[in-house]
Amino acid sequence: MKTSRILLALTLSLFAFSAKAASKITSPDGHISVEVNTTTGHLGYTVSRDGRVVYSFRDIALSLNKTSFPVGKIKVGKTVHVKNSFKPAVPLKFSTVNEDYKEATISIGSGASFLLRVMNNGVAHRFVLAQKGDVEVYDEPFRFVPAEGFKAHRQTAPNNFNTSFEEAYRHETLAEWNASDRKMTTLPLLLSADDDTQLLVGQSDVDDYPHQFLYTDGEAIVPMYPKAPLKWEPRGDRSETITEEAKYIAKTSGRRALPWRWVAVTDSKGIIEQTLPVQLARRSVLKDESWIHPGQFSWEWWNGAAPFGPDVDFRSGCNYETYCYFADFAAKFGIDYILLDEGWAKSTRDPFHGNDNLRLPDLIKYCNAKGVKIVLWLPWLTVEQNFDQLFKTYAEWGIPAVKIDFMDHADQWMVNFFKRVVQEAAKYKIIVDFHGAFTPAGLEYEYPNLVSYEGVRGLEQMSGCRPENTTYIPFIRNAVGAADFTPGGMNNMQPDQYRASRPNSGAMGTRCFQMALYVVLESGVQMLADNPTRYYQNEDCTRYIASVPTTWDETRALEAKAGEYVVVAKRKGSKWFVGGITNGEERDFRLKLDFLGAGQHKLTAFKDGLNAGYQAMHYNKLERDVNNSTEIDVHMAKNGGWAAVIE
């Protein structure tokens, strides 16, 4: 990241700041305008896109232990115009991220200020504190009022703050949401209008502070925050129950910036291409990032660790022979890692001893000889109880990555736990994948060894993972950061025919739907969730899946309508990968390949077969020469997909 820091300094010095004191701030391209309410004691602003009001924030406030803001007169200071670019260590959309925004500091009383940033595709705000010592934050309220006609697409929480962020999305007006049996909603939240105006609501740079939840009173959307926990009681081997809470939501430094609250204002294609979360996050604090290697994992939990091919002459399970088989598979297809999920350890409370059948030291040697690395699964409580020795020991064993699970709350303590984990892991050059986790909010850019989070309704939900929900993920959950969805099912079924369970797990949607997810979804970790035997039986599909990168240089949305379909092209080096998925409606598109460079290219595509609407495993493989003037007809069956590589 040294190069990007130098680049940041150079670009800031090259672009002059424009200074203008006004209550109206316009985005650099002129499409978004923000009118700030300067009425004494009433902090808020209204956002318009191309002259149409799309939402307003009202009664924004901050309640501390000694005072509340705003206090007295509200005054908009000078507006600065900033353009710059930087390179994230784990690029999920673009290897170079460009910024172009105007920002104003607003006076709200002595001891705090309010920062307002207006970008070409969104608006963000945050409080900045200038208090002595520590402060207790009691609340950070607002009233967010979308214009009429917007429908909310939201992930609910069970009317409390204990959630793994894996619920299916609901699609409701504010009135329907208000009448719902589940009013609490997690971030991010998507609001859609009939003209394809999309409002994506999120947060970034959440540090030493709780995550935000939302609910509605039918007119406005308002925030809720979990209180800071004071006491816990054990709950099994992987969690705790909070038994006493503080009156405050955070006790934190009085000299700091609070999290960014942001709303992307764009259309469906713009949601796919936007980079607001990384722009608003902190830059990496790691001096050396060369050891961070995102990649693909071969995973045994979803398929029951039960290979069944003609070459299987051993008892399958969480044992040495089975994992050697997984390692052989990974080595053959160039997969970086194998994941040892629950069952590898002698006890879930003991992270240092494998079960008697595993022969962990021998397995590590075997995998190393194959060029494959081992990833270990752990409950978060076991990590916490063995914090001092865990990562040091794993580094000595040669374990380069961990999957940590079951963090089912999002208060200040748990946010700080996430940070302590990735800080400690970074000391020993270990990457982290959080499961049973809240959604990304900036830590993954400050510590890029945090390569993915779950916080999504993924394939592990089996019959609960339906294509009509998955087609929303690129526009909601994945739009704020990496999501470990665990795709790759080869036993494919249409939803009305689904009959499957471990060890013969099944995936809803067509074969091409599953293959396209490797391009459509974003994650520094991509699982191959199915059985090696099934992948051997479908080698052409497997070779395509194994060839798809997990980081990208460029992203282009070719076709998109939130929750209905998406077709995206992504470039890594000189290769382009294209993935498309649709919901329960079959689709036809004519794709222009004008994003290609000059000259002839070879396209290899996997498309839904004529019978894929009934027999979801039916697909056809297409190979042909193309160039940047070629147009391709793409048909997707219901719950179908299309996947290609162009090189």
Interval 307-332: pLDDT, tens: 999 999 999 999 999 999 999 999 99
> Token pair 């990241």 is at which residue?
1
Q: At what angle do helices 320-333 and 360-370 cross, to 10 degrees?
A: 10
The Cα 446–Cα 409 span in angstroms is 21
Pairing label, strands 122-129, 239-245: unpaired
Q: Which pair of structure tokens corresponds to residue 401? A: 């990555």
Strands 565-572 and 575-582: antiparallel
Where does residue 14 rank: exposed (0-12), middle (13-18), buried (19+ CB within 10 A)?
exposed
Regions of the chain short of the pLDDT cut 70: 1-22
pLDDT in tens, 201-240: 999 999 999 999 999 999 999 999 999 999 999 889 998 9
In the sheet that holds 112-119, the strands lie side by side as 75-86, 97-107, 112-119, 122-129, 260-266, 198-204, 189-192, 151-155, 169-172
Out of 280, 305, 335, a domain closes at 280
Rounded to whole angstroms, the Cα distance separating 76 from 16 reads 20
339 and 190 in a common domain: no
pLDDT at 579: 98
* Domain co-membership, 517 together with 593: no
Other CB atoms within a 10 A radius of the CB of residue 388 amount to 9
Among 530, 548, 566, identify where a domain stops: 548
286, part of any domain? no
Q: How far apart are CA 621 and CA 604, in angstroms?
A: 7
Backbone angles phi, psi at 19, to 5 degrees: -115, 125
Identify whether the C-beta of residue 611 lies closer than 8 Å to the C-beta of residue 494.
no
The CATH number of the domain holding residue 520 is: 3.20.20.70
* C-alpha to C-alpha distance for 333 and 249, rounded to whole angstroms: 48
Q: How far apart are the C-alpha atoms of 348 and 238, rounded to whole Å?
A: 8
Give dist(CA 205, CA 349) in Å, integer. Answer: 32
272 and 311 in a single domain? The answer is no
pLDDT tens digit string along 478-520?
999 999 999 999 999 999 999 999 999 999 999 999 999 999 9
**Does some domain include residue 561?**
no
| Any domain includes 227 | yes
Q: Is residue 556 part of a domain?
A: no
3-state secondary structure of 426: helix
Per-residue pLDDT, 159: 81
Structural domains of the chain, count:
3
Q: Per the domain annotation, does 553 fall within a domain?
A: no
**How far is residue 130 from each of residues 186, 432, 626, measured CA to CA in Å?**
30, 34, 59
Beta strands in 294-393 (DSSP E): 295-299, 337-340, 345-347, 350-354, 373-379
- Asked whether residue 174 falls in the same domain as residue 92, the answer is yes
pLDDT at position 343 is 97
Instruction: Please indicate, yes or no, whether residues 311 and 275 belong to a single structural domain of this protein.
Output: no
Is residue 130, in this structure, part of any structural domain at all? yes
Q: Which residues contact residue 206 at a Cβ distance below 8 angstroms, ignoring those fewer than 6 apart? A: 212, 259, 415, 441, 442, 443
- Do the domain assignments include residue 318? yes
Q: Are residues 130 and 24 in the same domain?
A: yes
Q: Do 309 and 229 have their domain in common?
A: no
Q: Which domain holds residue 603?
A: 577-646
For residue 139, being part of any structural domain is answered with yes
62 shares a domain with 182? yes
Locate all alpha helices (DSSP H) within 217-319, ordered by sequence.
Answer: 268-273, 276-280
Which two three-digit tokens encode residue 363? Answer: 């397995």
Same domain, 132 and 105: yes
